[in-house]
Chains A and B, each alone.
Chain A
């Protein structure tokens, strides 16, 4: 297994908020079944499963929307390496609406 990511198993889980479940047939939890070293990889894999969900998380420039937060194992990636943050084997990525907005 690589130190900087997972080994390609089906072990990365993305937890989505209710607001995005209309894009995933009401499934709030998606397991990614392709190799993902970083958050960017995981989002790309999410986009292949659900392009609509990805469009709500990232704009067409590839920037995470301003009022969206991504957590890897409980840590906000804004305070780690952003989209370059490593996703360890078995990690869960939470997608959450920021406290701002509404």
Chain B
């Protein structure tokens, strides 16, 4: 919430060196380390309480950053909207190294086709017939999730709070709400499964099984096996199906991580225990991961982009808390160590691997 910190380690991931803060005093809700092109680049979406949001880049793995110029992610003048915050920066497909996407508040999707130099709003969402009825959640009306079909350039999916999940089958020209089976707990009982308006918090998938999606909802944990056409409840053995963060295992399409939170009216880890939950059977069951994490007096919250994985064979899993603690696991979540304990509130944790590791 007060800047970006870069933590570096070698392949062992035992010792970490903290650099920063970059962008002192500015909130950083989105980061991306992209290695598709001929040079790695890192993006940071920074937001000054006074001077507004901007997008910055680094060509040296986060050591130094570009000064912001004129705002490149901006709404058209006739839209009547102004950029509040960039919530997500996502790379395009592996075969499109110059393509990037931004999900922003108020809910909209921007696309760059020139490596992030210029950005255009997605008109299909900007002018969607549902748009006037999308309502802000606790974090604002934000488009926070962008999921691409790695093989089919015409298919992509986004999620927003609130609004829910929308999918395009025509390269982003048109979008259909895909929320069948996802509940909206905050609606009157007979209207809890609307076509849209759900407060979806995060959606993930594995590129090897792109049609199978996992969804952490504002109340509700779901899986879809058909690109979001139908959703089924997979809250099997979790202490709460409320939560924000959700992370796919980098190699195993059946393994997903979440951090359950007690309730929307009490946003803290249930029973004051800091537990990551992992499924290894695509949501058939979930097991708590507690080794190395405080199991008493831990009233923590882990926000939607504060849970991440690296790409090593034995995957590293990392998460940051609203109270400024950063934890890491080198064994896919089985055991954890505290990497930092007094950072500002953490809203975004992302990983990147450089060739020198």
Interface residues of A (CB under 8 A from B): 19-20, 22-23, 51-52, 55-57, 59-61, 63, 65, 67-68, 97-98, 100-102
Please, which residues of chain B bring their CB within 8 A of the CB of A19?
A: 48, 50-51
Across the interface, do A101 and B81 meet the contact criterion of CB distance under 8 Å? no
Starting from the known contacts A55-B74, A60-B71, 12 additional A-B residue pairs (CB-CB under 8 Å) come to: A52-B69, A52-B70, A55-B54, A59-B82, A60-B75, A60-B83, A65-B52, A97-B51, A100-B49, A101-B49, A102-B49, A102-B50
Residue of A nearest to B77 (CB): A60
- Our count of residue pairs bridging A and B at CB distance below 8 angstroms stands at 56
Across the interface, do B49 and A22 meet the contact criterion of CB distance under 8 Å? no
Tell me which of B49, B71, B77 contacts A55 (CB under 8 A).
B71
Residue of A nearest to B82 (CB): A59
**Distance, CA A56 to CA B69, complexed state (A):** 10
Shortest Cβ distance from residue B73 to the other chain A in the assembled complex, whole angstroms: 10
Across the interface, do B77 and A65 meet the contact criterion of CB distance under 8 Å? no
Does B67 have its Cβ within 8 Å of any Cβ on chain A? yes
We find that the number of chain B residues with CB closer than 8 angstroms to chain A is 19
Residue of A nearest to B74 (CB): A60
**Distance, CA A37 to CA B138, complexed state (A):** 42
Does B68 have its Cβ within 8 Å of any Cβ on chain A? yes
Shortest Cβ distance from residue A3 to the other chain B in the assembled complex, whole angstroms: 32
Across the interface, do A55 and B50 meet the contact criterion of CB distance under 8 Å? no
Please, which residues of chain A bring their CB within 8 A of the CB of B49?
A: 67, 100-102
* Given contact pairs A60-B75, A61-B81, A51 touches B25 in the complex (Cβ within 8 A): no
Across the interface, do A20 and B80 meet the contact criterion of CB distance under 8 Å? no
**Distance, CA A51 to CA B72, complexed state (A):** 11
Across the interface, do A59 and B48 meet the contact criterion of CB distance under 8 Å? no
Across the interface, do B70 and A67 meet the contact criterion of CB distance under 8 Å? no
Most chain B C-beta atoms within 10 Å of own C-beta, residue among A60, A97, A98: A60
Shortest Cβ distance from residue B62 to the other chain A in the assembled complex, whole angstroms: 19
What are 23 sample pairs from A and B whose C-beta atoms fall under 8 A apart? A19-B50, A19-B51, A22-B67, A51-B70, A52-B68, A52-B70, A55-B52, A55-B54, A55-B70, A55-B71, A60-B71, A60-B75, A60-B77, A60-B81, A60-B82, A60-B83, A61-B80, A61-B82, A67-B49, A67-B50, A68-B51, A97-B50, A101-B48
